[in-house]
Amino acid sequence: MRSRLLLFIIIITAIMSLVVSPVGAAPGKFVEISRPEGNAEVVTKDVFSIFGTCVYDETIITFEYKDRSTEEFKPLETTEGYSTFKVGSGKMFGKDIKLKYRGENIIKIIAYTKDVKDDKDKQVQTYTITQGEEKKKSNWFEKAIEWITNPGKDSDKDKKD
Amino acid sequence: MDWKRAKLILIFVFIALNIVLGVVLYRNIKGGEVSQETIKNTRSILEQNDIIVECLIPTYTGKDYILQYQETVLDKSKIVGGLLGKDYTKINDNTYEKDTQRLVFPSNCSFEYSDSGKNNKVFTESKNEVGAKLKELAKKLDIPIGEFQLDSFNTLVSGEGSRAVYKGVYDGYSVFDNYIEVDIEKSRLKGIKYAYKKPVNITSRDINVIPVYQILISKISNYPGIKISDIDMGFKGFNVDKDTKTLYEGLSWRIKTFSGTEYFFNATNGESME
Amino acid sequence: MSKKSKALEYYYEKFKAALLVFLIVLCIVQIGILWSSQSGSFPFLSSFFPDSKATSQVSLEEVKENYMLPYKIVLSKGYDEEHYIVPNGSREYKSLWDNAGEYITKALETKPTQTQLIDEEKWGVILANKSYYFEFKTQISIDIVKWVLNIKKPVDTLPGLSKIVICPDDPNNSYYDVIYIRDAVNIYTYILTDHGQNSLDQEVFDSVYNSLHGKPNFSNYKIAIETGINSALPKDMIAPFTSNSTEAYATVDYTPLGSQDGHTSSLAEYNAVQMELFGEVRSDYMPDEDVYGSIVFKNSDSVYRLYNNSVAEYKFIGTQISTEKPKVLEAYQRAVSFIMDIKDRSKYMGAINLYLSSISESSNSYTFKFDYSIAQGGEYGELPVLLKDFTLPGSDQPFDSSITIETTSKRVIQCRWLALKLQAEKSLIEYKWNFPEFVDKAYNSIDSLKNSNLPIQNYGIYYVLVQGSKDYSINPSFVLFNSEGNYSIPLNGQ
C-alpha cells in the first residue's frame, strides 16, 4: 500500500515537472527575434530592419556590431539614433539599422529587464547579416531575353529576395 | 406704333390671363370640386357591391390639417377615488380593484373601468340624461367633459344595456382618439373607457385630402354587405410601437356602419388605419 | 380738342398705364402662388419633366461602382522594398481600380489555374512581392461583383472575393498577367495567357509610383510578413513597422441635425429636421417623438426615427408577405438604391464615401454594413469613421457601422445610419507615428487591452466618434482590433 502511494507521488511529481517547467521559461529568454530569420541573412540594401517580440513588459534592448578593425562589439545605432531602447507593454519592436559594412556584419542583440543585474543573465543573440551587391535592375526586354535563354528558371515563384 | 391702342390690347390680354390664372388658383385652393354626378356614380358602384350608403357622402377635397397634442397625464388618485371610493386594493401601479370593480390604466392618458357585478352607481337608461350624469362624474374625476360630444348611443350587442360613445372635439373637428365609452346596464354603470390627450393647436398643411368617394370605391368595396350609417372626418393617429408617443395627428375619414363598426382611412394617402 | 378733353384723355391714358402695371403685377403674383403650390416645379411645364424618383432608378446602374470600392490599394516594389498605400479617392486610386476591373473581369471569365487553401505566410509573400494589392473590408459575394463589373460570361468557381493581387507581365510566370484572388477559404491563381490589356503595366506602375514617391502620406510602410514569419501579426497587415510615417489629416467638425439646443417638438423644428434628412418636408409622414426623446416621422407602414445620438433609422412596419429566400444581388440592389436615395436627398453626406464592410444572411433577409470615409481633399485621400460605444434604445446590438441596412429581395426592412453633418477642415495637421510605438502606448494606457492578452487582428487610423461626446471636432486616432473589440489612442499632431 505504501509503495503504491510512493509510486503515485513519483508519477504525479514527474507529470507536474513536465507541465510546470515550460511555464517557468528558460532563464534569460526576454525576446523572440522574428527578423533576422535564422542566424544569418543576405540582403542587398544597406538598411536592415530588425523585429522582435518581447516576453515581458518593460524590456531593454541593445544593438551592437562587431568592429572589423578592433574585433570588438560597439553600440549600433538605429536610424533614429539609439543603440539602447525600452520596449513597453506592447512588447513588439521594429528598428532600422544602417549596416556598417558591405559583406559580413556581425550584429549582437542584447535583451534584459530591469530586474536583471548580472550581464550573464541577459539574453544575447548574434546574427550575421551579409550585404551583397545590389541586384542590377534589368529592364523588361532584358528579362524577356533572360527568360527565353533560361526558360526553366522562371518558376522561382514568390521568392523573397 | 399706336401706343394707346397697344395699351388697350395689352390690358385685355392681361385681364384674360389673370382670369385664367385666377380660375386655376381657385381650383387649386378648393382642391377641385366633386360633382353630384360622381357621388351618384359612387353610390351605384357601391350598391353593385352590396354596400348601402344611407347618409350624405362628403365632397371635401380641401387642405389637410395637423393637430398638435400636449402630453397629458391623468390624475390617477382622483380617478381611483372617484370611481372606487375608499378601501380599494392596489394590484400594481396600473391596476386597482374593489369588490367586483376593476380599474386599469393602460397608459398615462387613459383608463378602463369595469364592474362585473352590481354596484351602487345608479345611472340612467335615458339617452338624454346620460350626458348630465356623466357631467357629474366627470367633475369628480377631473375629466374635461366640455371637450367631448355624444357620438353614438346604441344598444349593446348582448341586448342588455346601452353604450354611449363620446368623441373629442376641438375647433369644430372631431378628435377620434379622444373618447369616452360608457356602458350602462339596468340603469347602472357597467364600464367606462376613457382616453384623452389635450389638443393645443391646428395647423394647415400644404397638401389636399383625398375625397372620400375614392376611398369608398377603392377600399370599402372590399367589405360587401355593410350598411353605412355615417361618414365624417376628424383627427386620428396610429400607433407604431409602445415607445412612440402621438404628438401630432392628421385628418382621417371615418366610415361608420349601422352595426357600430368604424373604418378609418388616412385622408391624405387613403391608407387604412387599423 | 378742348383743354378739358385733353386733360381727360391724359388722365385716361395714365389710368390705362396704371391698370396695365397692376394687371402685370397681379399676373406675376398669381403665377408665383401657383408655382410654389406645385412643389417647386414650374406650372404647366412640370408634366414634361420626369420625376426625381425615376431619375434615381436610372442612376443605380451609373453609380453601382461607387458602392463596391476596395478599402485599400497598395503598390509594391517587391519584398523588403517600398510599399505605398494609394490614397483612397485620389486620381491614382480611381484609375488603378478602374483598370484592375478589366483584369478581374478577365480572370473571372476563365477557370483558375490553381486553387489552394489559404496559407497566410504564402499570401503575405505574394502581396509583398507583386505590384498591386486590392483589399475589401469584407468578402463581396460573386453575384455583386459580376453585376458591378459587368461580367458577362462568368465561370462560377468562387463564392466571393475579399483580397486581390495583380501582377501584370509576371516575370515568374512567363510574363503573363497573374491574378491572385482570395476568398475566406482559398487562394485562386489565374494566369491570363490571352489577355491583351496593359492598363496596369510597368509604365502605369512607374507613373503611379512616381506620383506617390516622396509624398509624405503612407511612406515607410512594410508588409507584416517582412517582420519575419514568426511574428504574431497577420501576415498581410501593412503598417510603418520601423520608422515613422508622416501623414497629414484634417480635423473633422460635426454637428447634429436639428436644433443643438435640445428637442422642442415644434412643427418648425420637425420640418427643419425633415429638410436635412429628406431634402424636403414629407407631408405623408406624421411628426412625433418617442419615450427616448427621439424624433419620429411615421406613416402607416414605415417609420423614420432620429435618435438623440444622431443615428437615423428607417423601419418598415407593414406586413411582409414574401417568405421566399432572398437573392443577395436583389437585396444588395435594394440596399444601394435606398442609400443612394438618402445620399441624394441629404446635403450632409456630400463629403462622405462608403465602403461595404460586412454582408450577413439570415433566413429571409440580408444585412449589409457600410462604413463612412471622409475625404481629406485630393491627394490626401480619405479617413474612415469608427463608431465607439454607440447603442440604440431597445436594441441589444451595438451600432458599430455607419450604415446597417437589412433588406429582402423585395424591400428594405430596416436601415440605420449615422446622420451627422461631417465636414473636414481645409487645413491639414501633420502626424508622425509608427506601429510599435502606438501598440506600446495602447497597451500601456488601456488596461482592458493589456488584460485581454489577445493577438492583434488588425489596426487602422480612424476618426473615432464616441457616443455622447460633446466635442464637436475630431482628430485621427490609432485603433487596434482584437477578437474582443477595438482600442483607440489619439495620434499626436505636430
CATH (domain of A94): 2.60.40.2550
DSSP B159-178: SSSEEEEEEEEETTEEEEEE
Percent of chain C with pLDDT over 70: 92
Q: Could you tell me the three cell numbers for C236? A: 498581410
Instruction: For an interface test with C, give the residue of B235, B241, B252, B269 to mutate (most C CBs within 10 A).
Output: B241
Question: Under an 8 A CB cutoff, do C267 and B248 touch?
Answer: yes
- Mean pLDDT, residues C49-54: 41
- H-run or E-run covering C435: helix C435-445
ipTM (interface predicted TM): 0.77
Task: Give all strands (DSSP E) within chain B, no chain letters.
Answer: 52-53, 63-70, 89-92, 95-98, 101-107, 110-115, 148-155, 162-170, 173-185, 188-195, 198-208, 227-236, 248-257, 262-266
**Domain range spanning residue A78?**
30-133
Instruction: For an interface test with C, give the residue of A89, A129, A150 to mutate (most C CBs within 10 A).
Output: A89
From the list C470, C479, C378, the residue with the least C-alpha distance to C424 is: C378
Number of domain units in chain A? 1
Percent of chain B with pLDDT over 90: 39
pLDDT given for residue B36 in this prediction:
83
Mean pLDDT (chain A, rounded): 77
Read off the pLDDT of residues C173-226 as tens digits, 9 standing for 90 and up: 888 999 999 999 999 999 988 877 788 888 889 998 888 887 766 677 999 999
Whether chain C has a CB inside 8 Å of the CB on B18: the answer is yes
Q: Could you tell me the three cell numbers for C233? A: 501579426
CATH number for the segment(s) B31-68+201-266: 2.40.128
Within-domain flag for A118? yes
Question: Under an 8 A CB cutoff, do A158 and C227 touch?
Answer: no
Instruction: For an interface test with C, give the residue of A44, A87, A92, A142 to mutate (most C CBs within 10 A).
Output: A92
Q: Could you tell me the three cell numbers for C117? A: 487553401
Domain boundaries in chain B? 31-68+201-266, 72-196
Question: Under an 8 A CB cutoff, do C27 and B247 touch?
Answer: no
What is the DSSP code (8-state) at residue C281?
Answer: -
Q: Are C156 and C142 in contact (CB under 8 A)?
A: yes
> Which alpha helices (H) appear in C242-327, and where do they start and end?
267-278
Question: Under an 8 A CB cutoff, do C228 and A51 touch?
Answer: yes
Domain boundaries in chain C? 3-47, 68-243, 254-376+389-419, 424-490
pLDDT given for residue A18 in this prediction:
42
Within-domain flag for A90? yes
Within-domain flag for A19? no
- Mean pLDDT, residues C94-111: 93
Neighbours of chain B (3+ CB pairs under 8 A): C
Closest Cβ–Cβ partner in A51, A90, A161 for C241: A51
From the centroid of its chain, how far is CA B247? Answer: 16
Whether chain C has a CB inside 8 Å of the CB on B7: the answer is yes
Neighbours of chain A (3+ CB pairs under 8 A): C
Question: Under an 8 A CB cutoff, do C23 and B24 touch?
Answer: no
- Give CA separation, A139 vs A5, C79, C130, C205, in Å: 78, 18, 16, 14
Domain B72-196 has CATH 2.60.40.10: no
C392 three-state secondary structure: coil
Within-domain flag for A96? yes
Distance CA C464, CA C448 (A): 18
Mean pLDDT (chain B, rounded): 87
Tell me the chain B residues in contact with residue C34 when contact means C-beta distances shorter than 8 Å.
21, 24-25, 28
pLDDT given for residue C236 in this prediction:
93
C254-376+389-419: what fold?
TATA-Binding Protein (3.30.310)
pLDDT given for residue A1 in this prediction:
47
From the list A141, A39, A36, the residue with the least C-alpha distance to A95 is: A36
- Mean pLDDT, residues A104-126: 92
Within-domain flag for A58? yes
From the centroid of its chain, how far is CA B180? Answer: 12
Question: Under an 8 A CB cutoff, do C19 and B237 touch?
Answer: no
Read off the pLDDT of residues B120-166 as tens digits, 9 standing for 90 and up: 666 666 777 888 888 888 998 989 999 999 998 887 767 778 888 99
Positive/negative CA dihedral, B185, B187, B190, B192: positive
Distance CA B135, CA B139 (A): 6
Q: Are strands C403-407 and C473-474 parallel, antiparallel or unpaired?
A: unpaired
pLDDT given for residue C146 in this prediction:
94
Pairs of CB atoms within 8 A across A/C? 100
pLDDT given for residue A158 in this prediction:
42
pLDDT given for residue A143 in this prediction:
56
Tell me the chain A residues in contact with residue C442 when contact means C-beta distances shorter than 8 Å.
90
Neighbours of chain C (3+ CB pairs under 8 A): A, B
Distance CA B22, CA B17 (A): 8
Distance from CA of C122 to the nearest CA of A (A): 8
pLDDT higher than 90, residue C122: yes
**Residue whose cell numbers read 556581425:** A106
**Residue whose cell numbers read 406704333:** B1
Pairs of CB atoms within 8 A across B/C? 94
